[in-house]
Amino acid sequence: MKHLTLKLLFAACLLSSTNLFAQQEVVDTAVFSKIRNAELKDSHIPYIAHYLTDVSGPRLTGSPGFKRAADWAVAEMKKWGLVNAALEPWGQFGKNWELLDFSIIMKVPYVQPIMAYPDPWSASTNGLQQAPVVLLTPAQSRDTIYLSQHLDGLKGKFILVTGEPINTTDNFKPSATRLTDAELADMKDMHMVSHDMIAQYVTGISKTLNKVSVLLKRSGAIAIISTGSKNIDGTVFVQARGGYKLTNPESLPAVSMALEDGQKIKRLIESGHPVEIALNINGRTSTEDTKGYNVVAEIPGTDPKLKSQLVMLGGHLDSWQAATGATDNAAGCIVAMEAVRLLDSLGLKPKRTIRIALWGGEEQGVYGSYNYVKNHFMDIEKGTVKPEQAKVSGYFNLDNGTGKIRGVFAQGNTAIQPIFEQWFAPFHDLGASTVTQKNTGSTDHLSFDWAGIPGFQFIQDPLDYETRTHHSNMDSYDHLQMDDLKQAAIIIASFVYQTSIRPGMLPRKPLVKETFAFDGL
């Protein structure tokens, strides 16, 4: 009985000390409620979404579509009252490209439309070209020795690269899901790569692609058409692993095709029935402006001692070409813009300056945020910080689709966990509560994390992001979950505001020196 009493007393002391620690973090729940009520009563999210997707169009890095979206975002945030809204160049990017005209159809053995899309930075066909199709396996298309030995058979042909038939068992898997409590409790590290790993990967891929491009161009083939194992059920995933650098060799016109069409053509050819395709790609490539740009704007801080410090939020504005980049990542930019609109429209007075950044070049290798950090916060070559680095309390990122926020990756920052847990408490009824020490990568918060600045990516419900919309022709406005985006805007606006009024900056991890050698495709 005595031991039991001691145990109970010890437990009470622990609880008391925990509560005491919790009391040290003063959370402005009244402002959280104001933000929530304002968003639910008068959200601008559908309006922002329409202009960043439908009106702007695809936002390929460096393209006119990206410029349309960036210019609109700057003008809109100026209209709201934000200051220092501008396009900020981050460095050299490469060639600009936009699609002017495109058509593809099977002409022989019968006429039938084909579902396919031109790859970004594709060369043009110089008018409509009709020709036979020749088959290559994916392995053959990457094998420079094989290609060298078979160049004569490719001349004047369309090269179709297609692999295995459709795996019909995948039809029984759900295409959209939400995270379960068990999954949230057992989060794993996701997409974690270092800049060295990125550099090695893209350098190796770039060399292979350049060699293949030179060989295929030399062969006299008209175009290369590729299918992928995921290009099924009306969804075609379309991206590019290069082609935008000024040093990239001129390549063949390139197209991504639905697997069903590719497999049909393959079966026809293998059964002795020649296939001809008619293809027209008209793309405009320009080197008039080779710079890359980010969009930035600010809500000035009001505290004389703290206003020189920053709280940052954002997402990447660039997208791929086959759709309008709604879930990847207009969604993150929509939420970030709505968050600053809410804070400004409510007349809140952040103590620290709040800076929004909409990044360019993320899809090619987190270029925009990485170079922004390099320009402002970090001497990459020396691995040392610049004075401005010490003034950033934290950066909050959203870039995993349109699903609601379920928590946040703490990126191994143990000191931040009890703080964020308290900040999430008012949002448990919205489904957000998880703070995991696990890491996630492959997006813009890592640029800050690499530079010793607290950078965080929120955990989101996956929905159909990986299965349907990510880098695909389905990534359009209609796949946005508006209620989920409203929930995300409420939480991010609250977290940003709370960071801006804390007496101290967010706790930091030790800066780990890394070799920041990175040169994209």
139 contacts: CB under 8 Å, gap ≥ 6:
none
Write the class of the CATH domain 96-286. alpha beta
* Span of 49-53, 212-216, 291-295, 404-408 with lowest mean pLDDT: 212-216
521 contacts: CB under 8 Å, gap ≥ 6:
202, 205, 206, 209, 241, 242, 243, 244, 245, 364, 365
Asked if residue 489 has pLDDT above 70, the reply is yes
CB 505 within 8 A of CB 309: yes
Give me the mean pLDDT over the 412-428 stretch.
98
- Find, among 500, 498, 387, 504, the residue nearest to 451 by Cα: 387
Instruction: Give the pLDDT of residue 213.
Output: 84
Tokens of 379: 């001497």
User: pLDDT tier at 204 (50, 70, 90 boundaries)?
Assistant: low
Instruction: Give the pLDDT of residue 211.
Output: 85
CA angle 366, 371, 374 (to 5 degrees): 130
Domain 27-93+290-501 bears CATH identifier 3.40.190.10: no
Tokens of 232: 């099924």
Instruction: Give the pLDDT of residue 516.
Output: 45
Instruction: Give the pLDDT of residue 383.
Output: 85
CB 442 within 8 A of CB 197: no
Tally the C-alpha atoms within 13 A of residue 257's C-alpha that lie toward its C-beta.
29
**Mean pLDDT score of the chain, rounded to an integer?**
92
402 contacts: CB under 8 Å, gap ≥ 6:
326, 327, 331, 463, 465, 469, 479, 480, 481, 484, 485
What is the 8-class DSSP label of residue 495?
H
DSSP string, 128-182: -EEEEEEEE-HHHHH-HHHHHHTGGGGTTSEEEE--SPP-GGGGGS-S-B---HH
CB 253 within 8 A of CB 222: yes
CB 244 within 8 A of CB 93: yes
Share of the chain above pLDDT 90, in %: 83
Residue ranges of the chain assigned to CATH 3.40.630.10: 27-93+290-501
Query: Which residue carries 């970090």 as its tokens?
Result: 378
The pLDDT tens digits for 3-22 are: 434 443 434 444 444 444 44
Residue ranges of the chain assigned to CATH 3.50.30.30: 96-286
The Cα–Cα gap between 252 and 216 comes to 7
User: pLDDT tier at 206 (50, 70, 90 boundaries)?
Assistant: low
Instruction: Give the pLDDT of residue 196.
Output: 63
The pLDDT tens digits for 81-128 are: 999 999 999 999 999 999 999 999 999 999 999 999 999 999 999 999
Report the 10 Å Cβ neighbour count for 291.
Answer: 14
Asked if residue 230 has pLDDT above 90, the reply is yes
Residue 190 vs residue 3, higher pLDDT: 190
User: pLDDT tier at 274 (50, 70, 90 boundaries)?
Assistant: very high
What are the distances in angstroms from CA 451 to CA 229, 402, 444, 446?
A: 37, 28, 12, 8
Instruction: Give the pLDDT of residue 241.
Output: 83
Query: Which residue carries 């590729």 as its tokens?
Result: 226
Asked if residue 265 has pLDDT above 90, the reply is yes
User: 19: cis peptide before it, omega within 30°?
Assistant: no
User: pLDDT tier at 198 (50, 70, 90 boundaries)?
Assistant: low
Q: What is the pTM of this model?
A: 0.93
The Cα–Cα gap between 175 and 53 comes to 23
Instruction: Give the pLDDT of residue 3.
Output: 43
Tokens of 400: 């995993």
User: 109: cis peptide before it, omega within 30°?
Assistant: yes
Long-range contacts of the stretch 138-144 (C-beta < 8 A, 24+): 138/162, 138/163, 141/212, 141/224, 141/226, 142/208, 142/212, 144/208, 144/211, 144/212, 144/215
The pLDDT tens digits for 363-414 are: 999 999 999 999 999 998 888 999 999 999 999 999 999 999 999 999 999 9
